[in-house]
Amino acid sequence: MLDKINELLTEIDNLTVASLEQLEAMRIKYLSKKGLISVLMDDFRNIPADQKREVGVKINELKQKAQDKIQSLKEQFENVDSGASDLDLSRTAYPISLGTRHPILIVKEEICDIFKRLGFSIAEGPEIEDDWHVFGSLNFADDHPARDMQDTFFIQNDPQIVLRTHTSSVQTRVMEKTQPPIRIICPGRVYRNEAISYRAHCFFHQVEALYVDKNVSFADLKQALLFFAKEMFGGDTKIRLRPSYFPFTEPSAEMDISCNICGGKGCPFCKYTGWVEILGCGMVDPNVLENCGIDSKIYSGYAVGMGIERITNLKYQVKDLRMFSENDVRFLREFEAAT
């Protein structure tokens, strides 16, 4: 056995490896549970008693030398790796340019930032909703066209479960659980069963605002809208409100801004009217407040709803809505400066 131990000592002294894989193979060969040194230690019980001391010392020497050699070689590889630490081995072989935020996200964050400065906080809710929060609580009649399958996506043909058609459902959820004062904005994706074209899509994005408190008036609404328009489109922007109808507001209005392309003088973009519609608004219908557990005799409020794609079109003159969802890198690169 002494001859075998001396042979292994010489072998380990001359041990060299070219890679960490080879080093691991050598460690297994000598130091694993079934390695050569473990085999020698298992045979140690068969050594005559008068030789046990000498052989035992030699085996311990062999084991220590093997451990030291393996550790020494491992440190050499680690030192080589640390010398190349400035090289990112995970990087691809071709250059990758930095991306940019999507124009819809850019405009959404700008809208939210403007309303935050007015004291509004962000509220969110589920995209898969029930009929009550999307329609019933918002004063939609049972036979309202929005409840038809031609306008709304229903889940598994269940008339009670839909993909939300507006983020007003978030407003009703907040009003059910919170007593005034309430001042929230509700950004999110919405769905409507429409044919996809350059001016319409089956999904798009909205931001809606809700303010409920004592003595909230239409004048408060108008002032908030004027502030928003000037902050979003420039200090020279003018607004006008036209009477309209929405089931959940009374009175209701649609808001136009002076065309930011021609300055209100008239151009093809505004169809030579000098005005461009951007949002709908109105005072929250008392029935909606009562449906959500808020006393309409004490509290009043206003609501505002706008399509983010519409605002983005006005801000960046994007002519085709489909471009927002096609992930065309050439289109997205046009907004690098906006980020």
What span, in angstroms and rounded, lies between the C-alpha atoms of 59 and 56?
5
Nearest one of 134, 113, 138, 126 to 188, comparing CA atoms? 126
- As to burial, measured by CB atoms within 10 angstroms (0-12 exposed, 13-18 middle, 19+ buried), residue 48 is exposed
Number of domain units in the chain: 2
Domain carrying residue 70: 2-83
Say if residues 56 and 37 touch (Cβ distance below 8 Å).
no
Q: What is the DSSP letter of 45?
A: G
Same domain, yes or no: 124 and 175:
yes
- How far from 249 is each of 280, 283, 286, 301, 304, CA to CA, in Å? 10, 5, 8, 9, 10
pLDDT of residue 185: 96
Residue 89 lies in a domain: no
- If asked whether residues 30 and 124 sit together in one domain, one would say no
CB 335: neighbour CB atoms within 10 A? 19
Interval 164-173: pLDDT, tens: 999 999 999 9
Residues 216 and 312 occupy one common structural domain: yes
Average pLDDT over the chain, rounded to an integer:
85
Query: From its phi and psi, is residue 205 left (phi > 0), alpha (psi between -120 and 50) or beta?
Result: beta
> Is 248:290 a contact under the CB 8 Å cutoff?
no
- The answer to whether residue 88 sits within a structural domain is no
Using alpha carbons, list the distances in angstroms from residue 37 to 17, 41, 126, 167, 199. Answer: 19, 6, 65, 72, 78
Asked if the structure places residue 90 within a domain, the reply is no
Looking at the domain assignment, is residue 94 inside a domain? no
Residues 172, 47 share a domain: no
The stretch 36-53 carries a mean pLDDT of 78
What secondary structure does DSSP assign to 120-185, as a single string? Answer: -EE----SEEEHHHHTGGGT--TT-GGGSTTTSPEETTEEEEEE-SSTHHHHHHHHHH-PSPEEEE
- The CATH number linked to 221 is 3.30.930.10
- Residue 40 sits in the same domain as residue 184: no
Residue 129 lies in a domain: yes
pLDDT tens digit string along 63-105? 888 888 888 888 877 765 554 456 677 777 777 677 788 889 9
> What percent of the chain is predicted at pLDDT more than 70?
94
β-bridge partners, 244: 252
Residue-wise pLDDT tens digits, 272-329: 888 989 999 999 999 999 999 999 999 999 999 999 998 988 888 887 888 888 888 8
Q: Which DSSP category does 212 fall into? A: E
Which stretches does DSSP call E strand in the chain? 121-122, 128-130, 154-155, 158-163, 182-191, 203-213, 239-246, 249-258, 275-284, 300-307
Query: Whole-prediction pTM value?
Result: 0.67
Based on the domain organization, do 65 and 183 belong to the same domain? no
Q: What is the mean pLDDT of residues 110-132?
A: 93
Both tokens of residue 13? 């002294």
Last residue of a domain, one of 54, 83, 112: 83
| C-alpha dihedral (281, 282, 283, 287), degrees to nearest 10 | -90
264/310 same-domain check: yes
pLDDT, mean of residues 114-124: 95
Q: Look at residue 338 in the predicted model and tell me its pLDDT.
A: 65
**Co-location of 49 and 107 in the same domain:** no
